[in-house]
Chains A and B, each alone.
Chain A
Amino acid sequence: MTSELSPGGVPLPSDEATQAEDAEQVTATTTEEAASAESAISGAAATGAEEAPPISPPVPERPWNRRTFVLRSLGGIGAVLAAVVAVPVAGLAAAPATRNPLRWSWMAGSVTPTPRISGFTNLGPLSNFPVGVPTLLPVTVPVDIGGTTQDTQIAVYVVRPHDQSVLILDIHCTHMGCPVGWSQGAKRFLCPCHGGAFTADGVEVAGPPPRPLDRYQALIANQEVWMGPLIEGA
């Protein structure tokens, strides 16, 4: 089978002499390449070009003539240049993702969307929180977001299961992250999305949630409640 177009495209005028010299030195590899290129072109045209006679006389070529050299070098240099530009851009885009504590788990589950805090924040006297009834508490804390420190309001449930113990729960359902509400009637945190339910301690009891509500580190010091960083749910 012969080729109406060589793989690289139409021969350039400056290469004509070389092409003519190379006319008898065609190799099997080149012919195969040319044939596959032709079938790709004629397949696209879909007008039975496989049987059609070539428009111009066949111009076979040697595998390593000047034109092939230029084109392959161009491809190589292009690939290197593309990588030099693309890798830093992709790396920049990915930078914040790699700074989280990542759980390399087969089924890691949802990630709470709340901005992460560091250090401990005073939430007020323990006596502010009734025993057994979770309290929804908005806390304003300075948080580093995108390189700037901003006062950010974070809402948590403060739960006092017993007189001298306290739990601080994230408000997001561990299924898909919808905000759970406390139902005093059912004594459950209920998720409005897919029917998830949690006990006052944040333990999952119904619906799809795969793990308890995420907790913050909690301390009682001098009868005051302190909130620490989020314990990433595992």
Chain B
Amino acid sequence: MHPLRWINERLGVGSLLRGFLDRPIPANVGWWNTLGSATLFLIIVQVATGIGLSLYYVPTADHAYDSIQHIDSLAFGAFVRGVHHWSASALVVLIGLHTLRVFYQAAYKYPRELTWIIGAVLFAVMLGFAFTGYLLPWDQKAYWATVVGTNVAGSVPFVGDLVVGLMRGGAALTTVTLTRFYGIHIWVLPAIVLAFVSVHLFMVIRQGIAAAPRRKPIVEEVPGESQRDRYTREYAAEKRAGHPFYRSLLKDAIVAAVVMAVVATLAIAVGAPLEAQANPNAVGYVPRPEWYFLDLFQMLWYASGPAEPLIIFTVGTIGFLVFLLVPFLDRGRERHPRRRPIATALATLVVVGILALTVQGAMAPVNSTDTAVQVDTAALTPAQKAGLKVYQVEGCSSCHMLSGRGGTAGPDLTTVAGRLTGPQIEQQILKPRDKMPLYTDISPDDMAGLLDFLSTRK
């Protein structure tokens, strides 16, 4: 007897499996529908590589960094860590694209509202994985991104301190923080994912895969028919015109293979980054989060003011609630993106906004204390060159940007001569309005040179 037949005789899942593979699905289920299965594939990759890493990783501030270096020195160690790192990034991209596909096709409408809500929670859980995961190497990026991240989370009104304390395991960010992030990363979040992904998949199978919306409906309009009845009739027609589920599985496999190839290539060619060991006293270090949090990091530029924590909290909460409750906010019967112009436009706006903030965050200037100015001196007179020297010695670039180099506390001076006259600049230096420090120790000669130099900045 064939071993599989022997097993099935005892397990009795053969008919279940046949029903699963042969059930009819709509004909227009295509490549876009592979994004969900690719996400699932990466979650499995994350679990497998994560288990591998957990065999060597030591979750204490004393040894975490060394254990990561040790993993990198082992056979396949750097590769497994590289795959874990890059598939985390790929996971964020794919879950985002999967969400967009579902949104544009309005697949969250009856009867799939709950599938969307569970998916939205899973999206948040994935970001939780990313946030808890990148503290674990205990390198500089890990430490400082967590300092900032926990402070952002502490923007919750009234209980902000409690939230920070719960996340860090006390007020300070120490080895206690590391162990609890590890526990959450490998136990709590995976448990939530296991439960929610199971329900998510169960519902996908139970309700069938949503058909892509058609511009011309597949069934005739029946006046006075309820939205539910119409859906039922429509989906039955889609399935009649459809094909068995197994036929679309090859697409899923191809996309999973492409994703794995990309992730493996990045893991080998670039590897998982590791900065210097975390140094809580690293004055001069410029914290920057992982790319998928750059948009949030950049948003902190725009929300400043005494009410900032309240703004962060309100925008964050409303944003997530809107995302979570999409099926209840868009209750119309239309599914085609062109027949839902407002929903489509809003989603596109959000996507463009997130991309713009991410790019801006990636290119954001650094407010550095030792920023060398780079100016083409060939066109400058000797007096103007002397003025440039004054600019550097007095530390103007600590606060001001000049042709892309310098700080950001003050206004950009790249084209200052187009805005202000020489006397106006002098007035600002000697009797500063707003927050600029007073510079009275500049000699008249130096001042003249400085103004001469700045007059060339148009």
Contacts and interface: CB of A to CB of B under 8 A. Distances in A.
Contacts of A106: 157-158, 310
Interface residues of B, number: 75
B157 to A, nearest CB: 5
A185 B165 contact: no
A110 B151 contact: yes
Interface stretch (A10-18, A41-49, A71-79): A41-49
A116 B171 CA distance: 8
Contacts of B172: 112-116, 145
B437 interface: yes
Interface stretch (B46-54, B81-89, B404-412, B420-428): B404-412
Interface in B276-326: 280-287, 297, 300-301, 303-310
Nearest to B144: A178
A192 B283 CA distance: 10
B166 interface: yes
A190 B180 contact: no
Contacts of A138: 281
B351 interface: no
A14 to B, nearest CB: 25
Contacts of B284: 179, 181, 192
Contacts of B151: 110-111, 175-177
A86 to B, nearest CB: 12
A8 interface: no
Interface stretch (B35-43, B71-79, B245-253, B362-370): B362-370
Q: Which of A46, A110, A113, A180 has the most CB of B within 10 A?
A: A113
Given A107-B309, A110-B154, A182 B369 contact: yes
B10 interface: no
B305 A208 contact: yes
Given A116-B171, A180-B283, A108 B409 contact: no
B391 to A, nearest CB: 10
Interface string A95-128: 0111110111111111111111000000000000
Contact of B147 (A108, A113, A145): A113
A128 B295 CA distance: 44
Given A94-B166, A111-B164, A188 B148 contact: no
Interface in B1-44: none
Interface string B410-447: 10000000000000000000000001010000000000
B300 to A, nearest CB: 5
A108 B366 contact: no
Interface in A159-204: 171-172, 175-188, 190-197, 199
A210 interface: yes
Nearest to A147: B176
Interface in B207-243: 207-208, 229, 231-233, 235-236
Given A102-B162, A107-B157, A171 B283 contact: yes
A150 B315 CA distance: 40
Contacts of B231: 46
B96 interface: no
A207 interface: yes
A46 B235 contact: yes
B283 A188 contact: no
Nearest to B180: A93
B171 A108 contact: no
Nearest to B178: A146
A190 B369 contact: yes
Nearest to A145: B174
Interface string B347-389: 0000000000000000000111100000000000000000000
B265 interface: no
Contacts of A184: 395
Given A97-B169, A98-B165, A185 B154 contact: no
B203 interface: yes
Interface of A: 43-48, 93-94, 96-100, 102-116, 136, 138, 145-146, 153-155, 171-172, 175-188, 190-197, 199, 205-208, 210, 232
Interface of B: 111, 144, 147-148, 150-152, 154-155, 157-162, 164-166, 168-176, 179-180, 203, 206-208, 229, 231-233, 235-236, 280-287, 297, 300-301, 303-310, 366-369, 393-399, 407-410, 435, 437
Sorted from nearest, which 4 A-B pairs have the closest CB atoms?
A: A185-B395, A208-B304, A97-B165, A155-B281
Given A111-B151, A113-B150, 17 more contacts: A97-B169, A102-B161, A103-B160, A106-B157, A108-B160, A108-B161, A113-B280, A138-B281, A145-B172, A179-B285, A186-B399, A188-B437, A192-B368, A194-B367, A205-B437, A206-B399, A208-B303
19 contacts: A44-B203, A97-B169, A111-B154, A112-B172, A116-B172, A154-B280, A171-B281, A177-B148, A185-B393, A191-B367, A192-B366, A192-B368, A193-B297, A195-B409, A197-B399, A197-B435, A199-B437, A206-B435, A210-B306
